[in-house]
Amino acid sequence: MEPRDVDACVDLDELYVAVVADALDMVGLRNQCPSVTLTARTGIATLHGRCRTTAWEDLDAEDPSPYELELEAVDGCRPGDVLIAAAEGSTASGIWGELLSTAARNAGCAGVLVDGAVRDVAKMTRMGFPCFARSVCPYDSQHRQRVTEVGGAVQVGGVTFRDGDLVFADADGVVVVPQEVEDEVLRLATKKIRDENQTRDAIKAGMPATEAYARFGVL
């Protein structure tokens, strides 16, 4: 499925994980945030874009073609993509680091989400490359882990990520928006931000919280 352009009236930079999760609740999708913690490793606390998915596996033998599919995935990134590395939380190696970040950035990649370990954190931090990951590990992935599929549906913390889905990450966690509900979810999230702003302003001005909730319907 080719990802669609985001509605021009929606500012993705305005959105954040909690409000997107609330909008997903409104359309009946109540399990779109992975149950595992992916921490911002390079000092950049927000990230959003379209998923570029990779599935990973641990190895117990020498890999005859190390790095082949992971390089294919990185070179196939399009501007605004977020590379998803679904490694089931493995700490066998640091599957993402400085060189992949450099190549991904050259392709326009917005950042990476790794359900596993990364390395070269200091170098990625100096680059300013957004990286959310479960853990860190200094080992090279060669003969320890490899990509098994690029572009397929993958699981991270009990949630399905598909190529082209929108994903958001910040200090509250990660949330993914399936493409079939994207337009409605973005509209609802944008509206809730406006309603929350009205509620906040009213409470700051002295309105009791119960009255503010009765008037604006958000909390």
Detail the residues annotated as belonging to a binding site: 97-100, 119-120
Q: Are 133 and 38 in contact (CB under 8 A)?
A: yes
- Tokens of residue 108, six digits: 């326009």
Quick one: tokens of 206?
């002295």
* Residues annotated within a binding site for Mg(2+): 120
196-205 long-range contacts, CB within 8 A, separation 24+:
196/19
Q: Which two tokens stand for residue 186?
A: 């973005």
Q: What is each CA distance from 193 to 11, 60, 182, 206, in whole angstroms?
A: 11, 49, 17, 20
What's the distance, Cα to Cα, between the start and end of the chain in Å? 36
Taking a C-beta distance cutoff of 8 angstroms, is the pair 176, 32 a contact? yes
Amino acid letter for position 142: Q
Q: Give the residue ranges of the annotated binding site for substrate.
A: 97-100, 119
